[in-house]
Structure formats: structure tokens, C-alpha cells
Amino acid sequence: MVLDTVPVRRARKTERVWLSEAMGRVLGEDVLADRDMPPMARSLRDGFAVRGADLPGVLRIKGEVKAGEMPTRAVGGGEAIRIMTGAVIPEGADAVLMKEHVSVDVTVEGDVLRVERAAQAREWISEAGSMAKEGEAVARLGRVVDSSVVAMCASVGRSQVEVFERPVVRILSTGDEVLDIARKPNATQVRNSNAWALAADVRQFGGTAEILPVAPDEEKATRELIEYGLAADLLLISGGVSAGDYDFVEVALANLGAEFYFDRVLIQPGQPTVFGKAKGTYFFGLPGNPLSTWVTFRVFAQAALERLAGMDTDKPFAESAPMAKAYRHKAGLTRFLPGLRDATGAVEILAWQGSGDIPALVRANAIVMVDADREAWEVGDRIGVLPK
Ligand code: AMP
Ligand code: MG
């Protein structure tokens, strides 16, 4: 639903960053090979450059070629040249005999190489341009920069790359009981952990986070803060979306002319989640219990954020893992529960005290997705798992 609604946004501006700062950013350009890769045919192994037509046969070893130097002579008929991994294939040679095979069917005595087998065509040769051709896109626009992309950019000499500017995500917490973390709560108050967790997730998944002042449980103030929050690329609201008498978020959004794509989802925690658009900006209203907020960000808002950041989100949502312990639940809702995966990959669902239990979330190293239409799992049965 979120992916069908939010288009990948490519119209946004790009900025140039140092390669060392590019990790996790989204490429705003195609990165091109500045030359053929490899630029010349190279040896894939340490061994001997030979001519296939001479084999099997007795060859005379005429010199060597190391990585980083140009061969100074060609391989003539009945000749071989010692060659190192990565070195340019000398003219005349059309195969490399790998050193590790020497002594099986290839023997060396002084400068005489005795070969009792034929060579395969182009054996152990990496052809010029076989990995990429000059001018070819080797990492594409929309690709998230990971360390393989960093290696690619470095390899084509790009110390700076164009990346999309991060979308600005405003974060609005609601609730009279919600207190800034610098203040000391009394027994009826909670510290505003959601804003901090959401800001951390926003940064991790490609956005710039701006935390707004907490909205009191009152329509007008909530509406004013929401209106300010909508002047961003995405607005995340925590709390105030349940059916309580003091939940004003939906009313305030409706008074701002919001269009709602959904205002309830069949998951637990997180049923009252709201998703829509107002004043041209997408928003999510996430239920305020810390695990509800955390889970609904992962399940719904993360994909929208990644799209707004220009990413191609084509990764699987969940993987599957065997259960380490049997489990039962009441069917009807898809549950997202704190889980612990062991070194074999098997997962167990942790005991937790409901959706306020941040300590259980900290103990977890995975989120288990418990299907709505199944009641029981035995040890070894497979179940959905999201990375934490
Ligand atoms: P709500 O979704 O507004 O009904 O909030 C449900 C519960 O979540 C509240 O009773 C608070 O205990 C907790 N809560 C709400 N907002 C926050 C927040 N920003 N940080 C931490 N806990 C919160
Ligand atoms: Mg509330």
C-alpha cells in the first residue's frame, strides 16, 4: 500500500559529497567506468603465459612479467613467460598455466617448462573490458551506497559523488504526559523516547530529522504543530491516533484537509496507524506506545522515507527463519514481536510486557512477523523475520 502510493522521487536535488561521507546515501548519478575494466588482458593467476598451439610440449622460459609493469617481450613459438596475478598478458600468449598446477602435469627444470596437457582457450585470462567497458554505468542512480559501491567509485577514480539530498522529516510527538528527556518525569509522566527513536531511524534510512515540540492533547495546538510539520518532505506523528477522548491527531489532520489512505491496520502492536497526505506532504500517525511506534515505522514509514530519498526499494520485506521454540497465538492479527536469533539463524519470541516494553526491544536482535492466519508453530517451523 505504501509502496503503491509513494512514488520514488527523483526530482529532488543532488549534492556532491566526499566518497568517505557517501556510505548510506543514494546515488544521484550513474557512476561510469573511466576506462575498460581491466584496461588490458590480465592474468588471473601466478603461472606461465604460453601459446596454446605449443601444448602439450616443451617450452623455454624467457623472463617474467609482474603486476604493475608492461611486458617487455612477446611470447614466441616454443616459449613461456613467468607471469604474476594481475600482470598484463604478453603479446603472443593466449593462455596462462597456473602455478599451483605445476608438478601435476606441468614441471619446471631450470628454464625449461614441460607441459603434458593442452591449455583451454584463454585459460586464466581476464579479457580487456570483460568486467565493464569504458563509459559503462557501473553503479546506477537510485542505488544506495554500500561498501561495494564505495569500492566501485574508488576504482573509477571518483573521490566525490553526486547523491540525492536527504528528505527532511519532521517528527511530532503528542501527549500531555510526554516530557522532554532533559526533564525529570513524575510518576504520571513518560519521557519522549519516540521522537529520539524515530529521529535515529530517519537518519538510518536516509532522511534528516527535525524534532518538533511535543503537542499537548488539544485540537488547536495539535493542528498548528501538524501544519508546521507538513512543511517538510514527510511528517511522522507519534501518539494521539487511538480512539481515546484525548486523541486529536486525526481530527486535526482532517481539519487541515487531509486525505487518508488508511487509518487502521490489522497488525499488533500498531493497529491505529494512520497514513495519508495533507498540503502535498505524506504523513504517518503512529500509535504512541514505544514498540508500536518502533514497529509501525519499520513496517510502513521506512518504505515511504526510502522512496522519498530516491532509493529503489526492491529488497524483500522479511526473510524466514526456523523457530527455536514452539509458539501459539490467537489468529486474526499479524503480530510483530521482539525475537532473538541464535547463531544457527533459528529464532525465539521473547517474553514481553506489551508495547511499552523498551527493555525487551533492546534485548531483541530481530522482529518476528507472526502470520495472522495461523495459530501454532512447532520447533523448526518457519516464520517471518525482519532485521532489527
Ligand atoms: P497514545 O498512542 O497517544 O494513546 O499513547 C499511548 C502510550 O504511549 C501513552 O500512554 C504513553 O505512555 C506512550 N507514549 C506516547 N507518546 C510517547 C512518546 N513520545 N514517547 C514515549 N512514550 C510515549
Ligand atoms: Mg496520547
Mutate to test the pocket of ligand 1, among 194, 248, 249 (most ligand atoms within 8 A of CB): 194
**Minimum CA distance residue for ligand 1 atom 8:** 289
Q: Is 178 in the pocket of ligand 1 (CB under 6 A)?
A: yes
pLDDT of 3 reads 80
Residue 219 has which C-alpha cell?
A: 485540537
Residue 223 has which C-alpha cell?
A: 493542528
Residue 67 CA to ligand 1 centre (angstroms): 63
DSSP three-state, residue 31: strand
Residue 287 CA to ligand 2 centre (angstroms): 8
Per-residue confidence at 312, pLDDT binned at 50, 70, 90?
A: confident
Residue 43 CA to ligand 1 centre (angstroms): 63
The fraction of the chain above a pLDDT of 70, given in percent, is 99
pLDDT of 314 reads 74
Task: Give the Cα separation of 126 and 136 in Å (integer).
Answer: 18
Task: Give the Cα separation of 60 and 88 in Å (integer).
Answer: 20
pTM of the model: 0.89
| Residue for grid cell 591449455 | 119
The ligand 1 atom nearest the CA atom of 289: 8
Q: Is 189 in the pocket of ligand 1 (CB under 6 A)?
A: no
Express each pLDDT in 102-137 by its tens digit.
Answer: 777 889 999 999 999 999 999 999 999 999 999 999
Per-residue confidence at 315, pLDDT binned at 50, 70, 90?
A: confident
Mutate to test the pocket of ligand 1, among 289, 353, 358 (most ligand atoms within 8 A of CB): 289
DSSP 53: G
Residue 50 has which C-alpha cell?
A: 604460453
Residue 232 has which C-alpha cell?
A: 517538510
Mutate to test the pocket of ligand 1, among 176, 180, 190, 242 (most ligand atoms within 8 A of CB): 190
Q: Is 289 in the pocket of ligand 1 (CB under 6 A)?
A: yes
The ligand 1 atom nearest the CA atom of 195: 19
Return mean pLDDT, the chain: 95
pLDDT of 313 reads 66
Residue 296 CA to ligand 1 centre (angstroms): 14
Task: Give the Cα separation of 181 and 310 in Å (integer).
Answer: 33
Q: Is 273 in the pocket of ligand 1 (CB under 6 A)?
A: no
